[in-house]
Chains A and B, each alone.
Chain A
Amino acid sequence: MAETPVLVAEDLAKSFDVSRPLLQRLLAGEGRRTLKAVDGVSFDIPKGTTLSLVGESGCGKSTVARLVVGLYRPTQGRVLFEGIELEKARANPETRRRMQMIFQDPYASLNPRWRVQEIVAEPIRAFGLAQGAAALRDRVGQLLTQVGLSPLDGEKFPHEFSGGQRQRISIARALSSNPDFLVCDEPTSALDVSVQAQILNLMKDLQARLGLTYLFISHNLAVVRQVSDRIGVMYLGRLVELAPAETLFTAPRHPYTRALMEAIPDLEMTGRQRIPVGGEVPSPINPPTGCPFHPRCPLADARCKAEMPKLLPPPGQPGTIAACHAVEEGRDPAPAPAGTDQRIGTTATAL
């Protein structure tokens, strides 16, 4: 029997109430308004692998990250950590210790009044993982070394470090409770590109050495390609495609995935005229009927406007699942053989 995945998300949904105040609602004669940030998202993450979620702002990827570590309670569906329901798992400090989170902004996520030593030691103390001051200091020194800092840096305050070094401190703090599972929400988005490379290398290296499992959230497809085993593409709160990392790039199927890849400015300078996808992401408060991507989709037809597509493997591509009627019906342009340019033209309504 296959090993239990470290994390399973089953039909996760999270709604937020964004209604106006009661009095205004009564005066205007309008009802409550809810924003479905995440709607029907399912995935699993096997031990030692990285699942990435990509998408544009407002697609719900960060909400999924927060649901998975228990910062939000799902409106529907459930999260299983090693087969145990999240709420029950998190009641046990021993399990809680094993999941940690790294946030985007290394300036906001470290207490400016604490020395690095105290920041990194807090989880060790909270979980009682070191006996005595000397053992604690040794462990902090070891963690700082592990992320490429010096044990002497423990004496300093966060403001004495650059952005990249602060993100290393965040990683040291996350690792201090010996976790198995890390949720990384845009860990390199606030960093410069030369520093981003250092942090991505560090994260890959730590995964190989410590057997960590990652849920990696990013809007940057190139970054995601470097770190992931599998990638899920999100649009308006839903997963629209989930595929092994290489397959997603060599044979993307969902029209939105293709449009995203098309839109990325590249360094190749082939002189290729990019045809940007037209329109903008619709409001999640009032999403379109049927497939949420249909107003921008070059392949949309009557069925797409009426009926929500299910995540299904495209014919002849069992590793991938895509939520698209056109793919299911074989109406989409076939993925080109490996090695050729995968980008397809999409409609450009705005230009």
Chain B
Amino acid sequence: MAAILEVRDLRVEFPTRRGTLTALDGVSFDIAPGEVLGVVGESGAGKSMTGAAIIGLLEPPGRIAGGEILLNGKRIDRLPYEQMRRIRGKEIGAIFQDPLTTLNPLYTVGRQLVETMQTHLPLSDRDARQRAIGWLEMVGIPAAAQRVDSYPHEFSGGMRQRVVIALALCAEPALIVADEPTTALDVSIQAQIIALLKRLAREKGTAMMLVTHDMGVIAETADRVAVMYAGRIAEIGPVRSVVKSPKHPYSVGLMSSIPPLDRRVAQLSGIEGAMPRLSAIPQGCAFNPRCPHVFARCRQDRPELIETGTTRAACWLYDPASEKRAPEAVQHG
């Protein structure tokens, strides 16, 4: 099936007084209908930036400096503001981390839903209100017919995030960009919200880009995962392969840093050092100063994504032309 979202060689730059910083470089992926692509990485890796570029809400002075973004085969990265505004909401729904700042505190949730739907769909006032109540029911808000006239502050955090999900979905977009949708929520609420998002995306055939730093959430929700590091995709592949047998040394380190829930380990294996700042990304592979398998070529040339069986990893270990080949036991644990 044709992909709903195609991102090709996306490059985002931030001009600063001290020179231009490259926040995203050569990011490519696509998402099929009904598919959930998880995007993981640590803070500053560029995962939220990728989402912001797709929905056309990059913080100035950030700008798309190269590549293209296609939604249902049409370029959306060069659209004028007005045109992009119409696509947001109608064709792309966005869910952000903090439900309180997403909702307008001065309007009832019903009015916000009605307004969103009427902006994008030809609906009478009465039909729109009926649909708003229907959406609140669908996202699991009890007594939706009464709650539709409540203001955001009258809802708890988990309920607010349900309202935000209803808002993102109510114009039936083809793509949802969800940026840390459960991070502000407690773990018992988080599970409810993930189950809800996943069910709705499946039922409506919506493509979803799920940005999060929580691998547990990804493992339970995503079909495929992209692991980002220093503004690039380090590895991309089916969720099971990336979680269970990661190939890129950064993914291996990331997976083994996660404290296991089912046992106690004497020593957690973190990754030495920290991610480089955008102003000081090393030559060659950005991960090379922290990589346990680094060799000469990593310090000179930047690796592109290379097929490694089930996933693709940007790592010279997997290039047949490299003199040092992938060790048999790049395993986590």
Contact = CB atoms under 8 A, between A and B. Distances in A.
Are A and B a genuine interacting pair, yes or no?
A: yes
B269 A197 contact: yes
B71 interface: no
A108 interface: no
Interface string A56-79: 110000000000000000000000
Given A226-B264, A265-B216, A260 B187 contact: yes
Contact of A280 (B156, B196, B244): B156
Contacts of B190: 263, 265
A274 interface: yes
B216 A266 contact: yes
B295 to A, nearest CB: 22
Contact of A223 (B42, B217, B259): B259
B258 A193 contact: yes
A35 interface: no
Contacts of B194: 265
A197 B271 CA distance: 8
A258 to B, nearest CB: 11
B195 A274 contact: yes
A148 to B, nearest CB: 10
Interface string A104-132: 00000000000000000000000000000
A225 B264 CA distance: 6
Interface in A275-297: 276-278, 280-281
B189 A351 contact: no
A196 B268 CA distance: 9
B274 A269 contact: no
Nearest to A349: B142
A245 B261 CA distance: 12
B87 interface: no
A350 interface: yes
A344 interface: no
B83 interface: no
For the complex of A and B, the 7 pairs showing the least CB-CB separation, nearest first, are A197-B270, A265-B216, A276-B191, A192-B42, A56-B186, A197-B268, A194-B271
Q: Is the interface of A mostly helix, strand, loop or mixed?
A: helix
Given A263-B188, A266-B216, A269-B219, A195 B274 contact: yes
A259 interface: yes
Contacts of B221: 265
B80 to A, nearest CB: 37
Contacts of A266: 216, 219-220, 261-262
8 contacts: A197-B259, A198-B270, A249-B261, A267-B243, A267-B255, A276-B188, A280-B188, A348-B192
A281 B185 CA distance: 11
A350 B268 contact: no
Given A265-B214, A351-B140, A194 B254 contact: yes
A219 interface: yes
Contacts of A281: 186, 188
B63 interface: no
A178 interface: no
Contacts of B261: 221-222, 225, 249, 261, 264, 266
Interface string B11-24: 00000000000000
Contacts of A193: 42, 213, 215, 254, 257-258
B257 A194 contact: yes
Interface in A186-236: 192-198, 200-201, 204, 219-223, 225-226
Contacts of B264: 225-226, 245-246
A292 to B, nearest CB: 14
Nearest to A245: B264
Contact of B188 (A195, A201, A223, A259): A259
Interface string A154-183: 000000001111000000000000000000
Contacts of A265: 190-191, 194, 214, 216-217, 219-221
A199 B261 CA distance: 18
B265 interface: yes
A151 B213 CA distance: 32
Nearest to A261: B261
B158 to A, nearest CB: 5
Nearest to B214: A265
A164 B274 contact: yes
A156 to B, nearest CB: 15
Interface string A89-113: 0000000000000000000000000
A196 to B, nearest CB: 7
Contact of B268 (A221, A226, A260, A264): A226
B136 to A, nearest CB: 13
Interface string B216-254: 110111000000000000000001100110000000011
B267 interface: yes
A272 B151 CA distance: 37
With a 10 A CB-CB cut-off, give which of A245, A262, A351 has the most chain B CB atoms: A351
Nearest to B140: A350
A269 B254 CA distance: 17
A297 to B, nearest CB: 12
A18 B217 CA distance: 36
Contact of A267 (B42, B142, B159, B215): B215
B310 interface: no
B268 A269 contact: no
Contacts of B269: 197
With a 10 A CB-CB cut-off, give which of B219, B259, B262 has the most chain A CB atoms: B259
Contacts of A351: 140, 192, 195-196
A204 B268 CA distance: 10
B43 interface: yes
A192 B264 CA distance: 20
Given A223-B259, A263-B191, 9 more contacts: A193-B254, A194-B42, A196-B270, A263-B187, A264-B216, A269-B219, A276-B188, A277-B188, A351-B195
Contacts of B105: none
Nearest to A348: B192
Contact of B265 (A195, A226, A274): A226
A192 B268 contact: no
A51 to B, nearest CB: 16
A194 B216 contact: no
B284 interface: no
B196 A57 contact: no
